[in-house]
Each structure stands twice: as structure tokens, then as C-alpha cells.
Amino acid sequence: MAVRNWMFDRGLLSSSSAPIPTICVGNLSVGGTGKTPHTEYLLRLLQRKGWHCGMLSRGYGRCSKGYVAGNGKNALDIGDEPWQIMHSCAPAKVSVCEKRPEGLKRMLEESDAPKVVVLDDAYQHRYITAGLYILLTDYARPYFRDYVLPAGRLREARSGAKRADIIVVTKCPGDLSETEQQRIRKRLRLLPHQSLFFSKMEYGVLWNPFSEADPLTHGTNVNAPICNMRTLDALLVCGIAHPEEFVKYFQAQCASVNVLSFPDHHRFTAADISAIADRAQDADIIITTQKDWARLSDHDLPDVIKQKLCVQPIEVKFLHQTENIFNQIILDYVTKDSTNSRMD
């Protein structure tokens, strides 16, 4: 990675720019920084302002190869995170391709081509030069306290942070003090062009994907007995990086919590479904993440799971009333870059 970055920095490897605004969301570490919720935040922000958006990912964990447009596809075709984004941010156009330049070219050739594209997990994929780079780092393990693999969890050296325009410290406690913010700011050693924000994860309304209401709108409240979580024995099913906070949250909400944990991006098998169904017999509710639901939805689930299953959406909130400042940076970039693109 160090040699490849050196070659890009010196022009020995070429990178192309897109003819439309492009926003790269990524991190220096191998995962668990909250890329998907932040990507969803960006897409929803832009859609509220009337932009036709696209999201391009490599589609980690999918069974397909090459360029695949997401419409009508399942998680096996496009990967669990793109599937989640496709449903939670409809009508955003979601596509996947291992080769980002080819994928972006194919997206822009289609009849419903987006006017702005978010490049998901593309911080190290430098064959496309994005117009705006957003770097995420986990509050619990910021990159300034981490090391490059195999000594730590960084994909590339800390110096890679210099490419970022915006740095977001994610998964912060809601009561993060100004003193702690300043301590982190000092450790990050921001460059003059960089902006720093702090965000936290908030848990949305649990929804049952087998209810009559459309689960894609996330408008489904769970049935009345589930409203009083403190009386329920919960079974958590999660195959995500760093599930500790997810588990901790429901341990504080429910009477008891049992956990069935799987590796990140785990492809559920028939044996896994049977194990979930067996454990579900003793649970009042089964709770899983949106990302896990993307993979569970590929299966014909037994009734005991369908009746008790609830999906937990997770949303991003910026701390200390900085959301409007963050939003304005994004909107100013997209508007300016779009204007420049039309003039070229």
C-alpha cells in the first residue's frame, strides 16, 4: 500500500476524475467505523435537496463478478451493505464493481444516471479522484493510536489522512466534552484545509420485515408487546465487525440478552438458520442489524423467526449542533462541482 500510494502521489499511477460530483467515504482501518450509516446519511441529505444520487461500491462478499446494477438484486448479487443502502435510501441508484473507474463509467452510461455519486469504502481506491474525501475514524480506536497491519488494524499508514477534506470521529459518546474534543483535535494534527466533526450512532425504530407495512420505508413499529422492551428476553443475531456496542445497548434495554454472533459479512447457511430457530424458542424477540437482515432475507425463514424477528436501523447524529455545518460543506461542494462540470 505504501509503494502504491507513493506511485499515485508522484503520478506514476494515473487517476481519473468523474464528470459529476463524487464524494468518497472511507477509513484507514479495516472496518467498524460506521461507513454504511454515514453513506446513508449523505445520500438522504442529497436526496432531500433534490439530487438524483448514486452509490458505487466494490460489493464485498458478493457472489457475482464485474459490474452489477442493484435494482432487483439480492445481497448475494451485490453484497450486504449495498443491498442495505439500496433499500434504505431508495430511489438512490446503487451499483457495484471491483474496478471503480469501470463501474462509474457504466453507471453514467445508463438512462437513469445519477447527478452525484458517493464512493463507498473507496479511500484506498485511488484510480478515481473524488472531489471530496470524508475519512472516518472510530472514537474507541482512532487511527492516531493504531498501527498498520499486521501490528494493528490500519490498511495504510496514518499519513494517508492528509488526503481527507473532512475527518469524522465516529461512535462518540453523546456527552463528549469540549475538553475531550480538543484533545482529539490536537492528536489528529489537522491540516489547514481539513474540517473535523464528531458523530454518534442512534438506534431507530425496530421494524418487522414480515408485517403488512412496507419495511423499505422503515415505517413499521413493532407490535404492541414489543414496546416494553424491559420485560423481554431477546436473542441478538449479528454478523458485524465490533458488535460490542450493539450487544451492550440491548443488554440495557431488555430483561435478558442471548447472543448468536457470526463473523462480519457472514453468509448464513441452512444450519445457521436452524440454530437461530432453535434459540428463538426461548426468546420473546429476535433482534438483528440491517446488514444481517440483508443476508438473512435470502433464506426461506421458518415461522418462529418471522414472528419474532425485528430489524434495528442505526442512524448518524452529529454532536454539538454541527450537523448544519457539515451539511453545508457537502451541499456547497456538490453545487459548485456540478456547476463547474456543466461549464467544462
What does the pLDDT read at residue 220? 41
Domain assignments of the chain as residue spans, ordered by start = 2-202+317-343, 205-312
What dotted CATH number matches 2-202+317-343?
3.40.50.300
End-to-end CA distance of the chain: 33
What does the pLDDT read at residue 340? 65
Q: Is the pLDDT of residue 278 over 70?
A: yes
CATH of 205-312, one of 3.30.1690, 3.40.50, 3.30.70, 1.10.3470: 3.40.50
Over range 73-84, report the average pLDDT. 92
Over range 43-66, report the average pLDDT. 95
CB atoms within 10 A of CB 11: 8
What does the pLDDT read at residue 279? 96
What does the pLDDT read at residue 341? 60
CA dist., res. 73 & res. 250, Å (int): 31
Residue keyed to cell 447527478: 115
Residues in Cβ contact with 328 at an 8 Å cutoff, skipping those fewer than 6 apart: none
Which tens digits make up the pLDDT trace of 208-227?
Answer: 888 754 433 344 444 433 45
Residue keyed to cell 481527507: 164
The predicted model scores a pTM of 0.90
Tell which residue, 141, 289, 305, 297, has the closest CA to residue 203: 289
Band of pLDDT at residue 185, cut at 50, 70 and 90: very high
Band of pLDDT at residue 23, cut at 50, 70 and 90: very high
Q: Is the pLDDT of residue 275 over 60?
A: yes
Do the beta carbons of residue 301 and residue 274 sit within 8 Å?
no
CB atoms within 10 A of CB 63: 12
Q: Is the pLDDT of residue 9 over 50?
A: yes
Q: What is the mean pLDDT of the chain?
A: 90
What does the pLDDT read at residue 241? 83
